[in-house]
Amino acid sequence: MATAYYFSLIHFVSLFVAQSYVPISVVDAATLRNITSDQHALLALKARISQYDPHNVLTNNWSTSTSVCNWVGVRCGSRHHRITALNLSYMALEGTIPPQMGNLSFLVRLNIRNNSFRSSVPKELAYLRRLKSLDFGFNDFSGEFPSWLGLLSKLQYLALHGNTFTGTIPPSLSNISSLQRLSCSLNQLSGSIPSSIFNISTLQEIYLGGNKLSGPMPSIFFDLPSLQILDLAANYELSGALPMDMFDHLPNLNSLSIIRNQFSGELPSTLFRCTQLKVLSLSFNNFSGRVPQEIRNLTMLVYLDLDNNKFEGRVPPELGNLTMLAQLYLGFNDFKGALPREIGNLQNLEVFTITNSSIAGSIPFGIFNISTIQYIAMEFNNLSGHLPPNFGLFLPNLREISLANNELTGTIPSSISNASQLTHLDLSSNSFSGLIPKTLGNLRFLQLLHLGNNNMTLESPDLFSSLSNCIYLTELNLFKNPLDIILPNSVGNLSRSLQNLYLSNCSIKGGIPIETGNLSSLFVLSLAYNKLEEPIPNTVGRLRMLQGLYLEGNRLKGPIPSDLCHLTNLVDIGFGGNELSGHIPACINNLTSLRNLYLGSNQLTYIVPLSLWSLTYLLEVDLQSNSLSGSLSLEIGNMKTLKLLYLSRNQFSGFIPETIGGLQDLANLSLAANQLEGSIPESFGKMVSLEFLDLSDNKLSGEIPKSLEALRYLKYLNLSFNKLRGEIPKGGLFVNLPATAFMSNDALCGDTRLQVPPCKNKATGAHILKYVLPPIGLMILILFLALLSTRHKKRNVRLSGGLDLEISPLATMRRISHQEILRATEGFNVNNLLGEGSFGSVYKGTLLDGTNVAIKVLKLQVEGAFKSFDVECEVLRNIRHRNLIKIISACSNMDFKALVMEYMPNANLDVWLYHEGRHLNMLQRLNIMIDVATALEYLHLGYSTPIVHCDLKPSNILLDEDMVGHVADFGIAKLLSDGISLTQTMTLATIGYMAPEYGSEGIVSARGDIYSYGILLMETFTKKKPTDDIFTGEVSLKRLVEESLFLSIMEVVDINLLGDKIDYSVMENCLSSIMGLALNCCADLPEQRIDVKNVSSTLQKIKRKFLQDIGIRG
């Protein structure tokens, strides 16, 4: 995505005015005493920092053998020969400020910006009554905001930004009647904004962003005729409506940034009298109503950001008057109607976005005539109509355009090739028809082409030949278009940079060209659900980077080529629903990265090679509906991570191995319709995660093991058409099973409900029981009632005391009925589906009170879903933090479980990293990672029992309307109630993110989360998944970053960050610091990893340094 260029949000101001030094040759005794006093003050400062002077600037220079006026950073006045200016900025000094600094009574300018001075600022500095400029920006000062600053009545420039000052802004600041610049952003100031600071008529710039200020804007404003910049961004808790007369007092306002707060109501009409405004940034608030027509008065605007509010009505045509606009952001609002054609008047526009805003009608053709435009995003609206016939002809600078997920029709004009700078073209999920233009091949810089899910065709396969000119193409997606072609050999001439090729559901005929093997960088090849025939070519084995190979739903014939065994990065093989024959290659054990193997519904024969069972990290294996034979190997018990195993409808024979009971993660097991014999192993009772078990239509004999009663998550069991005998167990799942689960067996007995005969009892036993059982039963009943009464009283005591450790995870949450959830999601309408995960689907819903929520409906047939539900409830019911997902309610019964959570309108970090048309700039990524670190600090240290998340990854970092990160999905989290670590046998975390000790030894600790966070940090700034195909053997994401840190870190970072128009060296320094922190998180030994408190504070410091380097004051 093109980077937003934030005009006027970054302000470069000269901070130091040097006074000339006039050497003196003769000084009287009084002057000598005074200069000696100044020297003593500086020596006291040197003593405080002498051990923390990394460049030895002061150590080697501040010497009593030379005049203090000649010391580095010191300037003296020509009249009194006293120190008038001290500048120690950017020296990497660390230490504290001594109270003796208050003796520098002639000091006019004091600048120690960008060091690591800490602790509080001594109150003795209040004696510096001549001080005009004080800059303590970007240090580590802490404590209460200094109230004595109000005594410095001559101060013109005050900069305390980038520290950790707390407390409120003192009203005494209003005593500084000459103050021109107030910069206190990026601290931890709280409370309201005092109205008194708006009584300083000389103020030109106010920076209070990045604090914790709250409440409404002051209701009383005084005239501030000189104020040009007002920055209150990212306080998050400033709220209420803007005062109606506020902007009457700010006639020369140049820049207003109040993003990421909770301001609401309509925009005051006085705002549009500020005709000098160049930057107006209001995004991520709750402003509502219509955008007033008076916006036409702001003709100087260069940057307008109204994103993520609740503006409604039509987009005002008066925007067309703002002819100097370079960037216009209108997305994520409630606009209705069509875009005004006047947008086409903005002939200086470079960025235009209006995504997710319900805009309808056709796109004004004038937008496509703006020659300066570089980025257009209008996805996820209701746009209709067609593209202009000259589309692209007047767009020489266009780099990215996304019109995906609309209702556009017509054809794609061949003139699109005139947009010669285009890198990203996404027109997917519309209703385009006609021919895909071959002229797309003229777009030499094209990196991404998404035309999937339309109704387009090809006149001939020549498109692939023309696209071979696009040497930077990394992703080609044409899925769900009726191409109806034979895939040409020229597909092998596509870019050697091509990583993802999606051609599923395209009615492609013939075979897979052998030239496909030339695409050496391919990660994903999807040709599923076509009409492909012929064998799979051996040349596919040359795609050494391949991770996903999806060929299911075709009519492919012949054997599975053994050359596939060279694809050691392969994670998914999808060959199901074809006509493949022969055997499974014995070399399959070479595929050590393989996690999912789908070979079902083919014509495979012979035995399953023993080597398959050595792939101990497989998650899902589907071999059903083939003609495989032989016995089941004992080695099957080694596949400890297996979650699904389908071997049904084959010709397997012999006994079911007892070792299968060791598969404690297995959720779905089907061995139906084979020739298996012998008894059902007792060890089946150890498969504690089992939810689906089908052993029907075999030759199994003996009794049904009572151990199956212990399988608490088992929801489906089928033992029909076997030779089983004896009594059907009565506990667990067996209570609710239908008779069909046991039909057609030899001699089963039990409850007549199951349509089997009752079990016979011995006569003697029955005679004894007739007389003995009644009195025994009566005694048991009396004892039970007495015990029940006692427990009830104890339970009442516990509940009245407010603590019950045995309480259900759902007991503290308001329940919501299944019927309410049905209504909220419109019957689980697919249009409300937000996403699907391993344990369930998530829908958007609206409760009766109008609250938007996310409803996670568990797939009860999926392994681990019940446990995941219990764990997530247990964790989320007890924790509250702004960076953790909040659970609102729940619904739970035997056959339905759902969690009702707060709705996150900006999806998750994974979407923003990898979904085309979305882009995070440097600061956004930093903010999100700080949010995650803050959440981890709370989980590990802020709760009575430490909580380990166990599965940190981008898809589990949800983003709210303000792009604030929230850690989610606690389905496998652990409570460390017994110590700092625990050991478990089931490894459920995501491969690539889990700590080494978790994957190899099952050790769970808070340090494991730190490791995952380090990987997440690397991925966020490199846009490289740890599971990418490039990472094989000893090459990993961590290793890549480690080596690049000493060579050139800029070669591995996300290329989109390099377009942020930030100085290269600034970007490089910041990213080097981030990657250094990430590596500290990812030390191999847990005890060597940085602790969570230092993670958060270090990242905050990196952010402050970055903001200072790019010139954001405040």
Cβ–Cβ under 8 Å, residues 467 and 489: no
Pairwise CA distance, residues 741 & 716, whole Å: 9
Pairwise CA distance, residues 105 & 80, whole Å: 11
Pairwise CA distance, residues 912 & 243, whole Å: 35
Cβ–Cβ under 8 Å, residues 909 and 1020: yes
Strands (E), 365-494: 375-377, 382-383, 400-402, 424-426, 433-435, 448-450, 455-457, 475-477
Cβ–Cβ under 8 Å, residues 920 and 913: yes
Cβ–Cβ under 8 Å, residues 499 and 523: yes
Report the DSSP pairing between strands 212-215 and 237-240: parallel
Pairwise CA distance, residues 515 & 1004, whole Å: 47
Closest alpha carbon to 378 in 367, 391, 389, 370: 367
End-to-end CA distance of the chain: 28
Pairwise CA distance, residues 691 & 170, whole Å: 63
Active-site option among 307, 426, 931, 951: 951
856 annotated as a binding-site residue: yes
Which tokens hold the place of 191?
């409370």
Pairwise CA distance, residues 49 & 41, whole Å: 13
Q: Output the CA–CA distances (angstroms, integers) from residue 671 to 319, 410, 478, 580, 1061, in the order listed.
A: 66, 51, 38, 21, 60
Phi and psi, residue 775, nearest 5°: -65, -35
Tell me if residue 140 is catalytic.
Answer: no
Pairwise CA distance, residues 418 & 393, whole Å: 5
Angle in degrees, CA 193, 198, 199, rounded to 5: 135
Which tokens hold the place of 277?
């405004």
Which tokens hold the place of 718?
């089928």
Other beta carbons less than 10 A from residue 294's beta carbon = 15
Which tokens hold the place of 118?
């800490």
**How would you label 236-269 residue by residue, b for 16+ Cβ within 10 Å and e otherwise?**
bebbebbbeebbbbbeebbbbbbbbbebbeebbe
The edge-to-edge listing of strands for the beta sheet with 852-858 is 833-836, 840-846, 852-858, 896-902, 887-893
Identify the sign of the CA torsion 733, 739, 742, 747.
Answer: positive
Q: Binding-site residues, please? A: 856
Binding residues for ATP: 856
Active-site residues, by number, are: 951
